[in-house]
A and B are shown apart, each in its own frame.
Chain A
Amino acid sequence: MSEKINISLKVWRQNRGEEGRFEVYQASEIDTDASFLEMMDIVNEQLTLNGVEPIAFEHDCREGICGCCGTLVNGKTHGSHERTTLCQLHMRKFKNNDQIVIEPFRAKPFKVIKDLIVDRNGLDAIISEGGYISVKTGNAPEAATTPIQREFAEAAMDAAQCIGCGACVAACPNGSAMLFTAAKVSQYALLPQGHPERTRRAKDMVKKMDELGFGNCSNEYECSVACPKGIDVKNIARLNREFIKASLGK
């Protein structure tokens, strides 16, 4: 059964071009069946009526698939519950009188835009360098022409589940986007359609990642723990193989 709890929020507030700061707000009489973002909605309604500008945070689908939401909750991406985005986290995971610290994702390439919203355009820029198969509309052969071993199709799907939320980057002590990049490179390395461009893809995507200031991978594996879709670090191993092969000119 649900109950009502009171929570104290310590929230990062930051305007464009200004230094950030923490502000403390009370979330009163929150139903434990409410989602974390619904709790934020309630706080924002209160702030609005009290003449305080509401907390800006990114969100959209609220069912864990669009990849918009994500903040640090008590220092952990998405609050760190297994395979759970922030929008799927519910208040029953908290206790009465808890204090929750809410901050934006912290990573060098993710600049704060406002309050909890950060700029994740770097992830799109990495995809632009080869996170696709260059097939023009109209080029495709009949779909059943090439059978694909089921295990490979399934492994490609495992990698393709990435929602691009950036939690892997924020959880990594180096701010690396290796898991994000590896997931895309793996998807196409596992499928025959992806092979013609595999060399260029691995090299160009990694190059862009470096250029944008994402860090290197030092095998901390924090990314995989943080990933709300459970994307496996073995994809990073696959990216490394693809990258080495590409560097050797094969």
Chain B
Amino acid sequence: MKLDSKIPDGPMAEKWTNHKFNVKLVNPSNKRKYEVIVVGTGLAGASAAATMAELGYKVQNFTYSDSPRRAHSIAAQGGINAAKNYPNDGDSVYRLFYDTVKGGDFRSREANVYRLAEVSNAIIDHCVAQGIPFAREYGGYLDNRSFGGAQVSRTFYARGQTGQQLLLGAYGALQKEVKKGGVVMHTRSEVIDVVVIDGQARGIISRNLVTGELTRHVADAVVLATGGYSNVFFLSTNAMYCNASAAWRAYKKGAAFANPCYTQIHPTCIPIHGEYQSKLTLMSESLRNDGRIWVPKKVGDKRPANEIPEDERDYYLERKYPSFGNLVPRDLASRNAKQVCDEGRGVGSTGQAVYLDFAEAIERLGRDNIEAKYGNLFEMYNRITDEDPYTTPMRIYPALHYTMGGLWVDYNLMTTLPGLYAIGEVNFSDHGANRLGASALMQGVADGYFILPNTINDYLASADLPKVEADHPAMLEAEQAAEKKLAKLLAINGSRTVDDFHRELGQLLWENCGMSRNEQDLKKALERIPQIREAFWKDVNVPGSAADLNQALEKANRVADFMEFAELMVRDALNRTESCGGHFRTESQTDEGEALRDDEDFTYVAAWEFQGDDQEPVLHKEELVFEEVKLTQRSYK
């Protein structure tokens, strides 16, 4: 395997324009001769499927949900970044590019990030034209707010439901094309495998989740828009069905997996409250503008918050980082919360939480003011915990939220498997080792509306794509393998449930490959994962039949993939002995406790190539070259 990033020549600001001119085009009347499979209907998948259908391609779109509108992009709260500079505060394409590269701790590919910043403005234009009700000022013009990691206000938002509104816009575009016949929509259809014929991705095997029937679909190209892998940790803020299966199958068929150890942990989530907990809920980062984070000074202090006097409280972020205080970046806030809890100073019944206290802000600004700013979040908190955050401090704890790693892609968003593309969170390219707030939505729609529809033509127009039939031996073989695997899961009939195994795996990863990592713990996890996997295949209990709607079987099949993927994630974390962004190796930190990069040895993308089930994967390195941005050490003291 050779990694060719295909970054265009020329000055940074002209690369994308030049590239669009240099790629091969497909004549408008020929586009209908090409069939493209898009897996996923989140922001990236829906926008790509709709846009390619508008161009004239024949698109087959798959989702495991009952409707394309359910995809997890819908849960994004905060907003979407763009370099419009409407507030006249000095923003520009270059500044958005610079902030994103720096925010990613200098581990992303410059040319891709520049292009992202460059198309960001067209996204806002398009979304406004689609009728997305962004927040507006009294003059009728679009409002902006600020987010972490930037000194300008460039975030467009639709209340706390920006993801929902953007997704419904893309979903509308998709339904428009469904009606016209340009997109054939397959709901309740889960992709079970990617099929490779003569070295090219030529189709998929999908399972009808209502009847259990497996079907073979051929195409000229396959696009994965299947999201991130946070749920490998069992508990995360991701929706319950989010999984890594399609990406993992692609990896096993020859697509390199890049930087799997780059995971983002969000500091302000509602803590775990019991063993039955199924998922975690995010409380917007904006709360840290007014809330003060603290724990008791004394270890094991179990008094209620209001009985702990002021001088016995430790406002540890304000103490350690006087200039940024409670507004330090996500990774730092998360690690410090873990540290105080590890010291035995955590609060609540589990001791795995810290206080986020609004008493001072309420006194200073008045309750009405706080209610106007955060009312909906306080209500959500109250509904889940039954506590009143106006009178009792919130309890929060970090949780898995987003994964920066993913399938390796070149500048065209094609993986190392010809004809297989990866867009949105499932690829690796734009966020480096840490994603900035309001950039996930930006990347998802940039890939889907503006980038992929302008790069996929290069492959379709130049690749040799002989006609293949759905009964091609490779298709039949993949179908039989899928059938066998599902039958095997059902036949085990063991003594433990799927969730029980998933929880065990998640806990192991959280403890050893979570907020902070070290060689010893990672090695322990690497030893333990195959044992859990073995136990899973011997003792899992999957009831029901494969010829029916069977949610336990769906879950088992996803967890089986997580069991394998986890090992690669830990291996990557072990290999990267530096700290960077969300990947914190305790062996590599500054005196201030900040992630200490090792630019000399690690300024590369780690792309792993599958070698076989019992073989160690091979590491390929894409050296990152920085022409524009100078590498510096972040400091927030």
Complex Cα–Cα for A114 and B547 (A): 13
Complex Cα–Cα for A52 and B497 (A): 12
Min CB–CB distance B570 → chain A (angstroms): 27
Q: Which of B5-13, B125-133, B360-368 contacts A (4 or more CB under 8 A)?
A: B125-133
Secondary structure at chain A's binding surface: helix, strand, loop or mixed? loop
Complex Cα–Cα for A60 and B132 (A): 24
A127 close to B (CB within 8 Å): yes
Contact flag A121-B67 (CB < 8 Å), given A38-B277, A143-B84: yes
- Chain A residue contacts of B125, Cβ below 8 A: 140-143
Task: Determine which of B126, B133, B239, B278 lies in contact with A66 in the assembled complex, contact meaning CB atoms within 8 Å.
Answer: B239
B168 close to A (CB within 8 Å): yes
A131 close to B (CB within 8 Å): yes
Complex Cα–Cα for A140 and B135 (A): 19
Task: Determine which of A45, A56, A156 lies in contact with B551 in the assembled complex, contact meaning CB atoms within 8 Å.
Answer: A56
Which residue in chain B gives the minimum CB-CB distance to A193? B131
- Chain B residue contacts of A60, Cβ below 8 A: 65, 70, 72, 239-241
- Chain A residue contacts of B172, Cβ below 8 A: 127, 131-133
- Chain A residue contacts of B282, Cβ below 8 A: 63
> Quick one: which of A211-238 are within 8 Å of B by CB?
none
Task: Determine which of A48, A65, A139 lies in contact with B74 in the assembled complex, contact meaning CB atoms within 8 Å.
Answer: A65
- Chain B residue contacts of A121, Cβ below 8 A: 66-67, 187
- Chain B residue contacts of A61, Cβ below 8 A: 70, 72, 74-75, 239-240
Instruction: Report whether A153 and B135 are in contact in the complex, using a CB–CB cutoff of 8 Å.
Output: yes
A92 close to B (CB within 8 Å): yes
- Chain A residue contacts of B140, Cβ below 8 A: 147-150, 153
Which residue in chain B gives the minimum CB-CB distance to A62? B279
Q: Mark B127-147, 1 if CB is under 8 A from A, else 0.
A: 111111111111111100000
> Quick one: which of A39-64 are within 8 Å of B by CB?
39, 41-42, 45, 48-49, 51-54, 56, 58-64
Complex Cα–Cα for A142 and B418 (A): 36
Q: Size of chain A's interface in residues, with CB distance under 8 A?
A: 77
Which residue in chain A gives the minimum CB-CB distance to B132? A160
Contact flag A119-B276 (CB < 8 Å), given A137-B453, A191-B131: no
Instruction: Report whether A16 and B551 are in contact in the complex, using a CB–CB cutoff of 8 Å.
Output: no
- Chain A residue contacts of B68, Cβ below 8 A: 124
Min CB–CB distance B133 → chain A (angstroms): 4
Which residue in chain B gives the minimum CB-CB distance to A164? B69
A157 close to B (CB within 8 Å): yes
Which residue in chain A gives the minimum CB-CB distance to B240? A60
Instruction: Report whether B173 and A54 are in contact in the complex, using a CB–CB cutoff of 8 Å.
Output: no
A123 close to B (CB within 8 Å): yes
- Given A53-B543, A131-B175, A142-B125, 18 more A-B residue pairs with CB atoms under 8 Å apart are A33-B273, A34-B274, A35-B278, A41-B276, A45-B497, A56-B551, A60-B240, A67-B67, A84-B383, A90-B384, A90-B386, A114-B210, A124-B178, A135-B126, A137-B453, A143-B125, A150-B137, A191-B131
Q: Which 4 A-B pairs have the closest CB atoms?
A: A132-B172, A147-B140, A140-B129, A157-B133
Q: Footprint of B on A, CB under 8 Å? A: 2, 15-16, 31, 33-35, 37-39, 41-42, 45, 48-49, 51-54, 56, 58-68, 84, 88, 90, 92, 113-114, 117, 119-121, 123-124, 127-129, 131-144, 147-150, 153-154, 156-157, 160-161, 163-164, 187-188, 191, 193-194
Q: Footprint of A on B, CB under 8 Å? A: 47, 50-51, 54, 65-70, 72, 74-75, 84, 86, 121-122, 124-142, 158-159, 161, 164-165, 168-169, 171-173, 175-176, 178-179, 185, 187, 210-211, 239-241, 273-274, 276-279, 281-282, 380, 383-386, 449-450, 453, 495, 497, 499-500, 541, 543-544, 548-549, 551-552
19 contacts between A and B (CB under 8 A): A2-B273, A31-B274, A48-B541, A63-B282, A66-B75, A88-B383, A88-B384, A124-B175, A131-B172, A134-B176, A136-B54, A137-B453, A143-B125, A143-B142, A147-B141, A157-B133, A163-B164, A164-B67, A193-B128
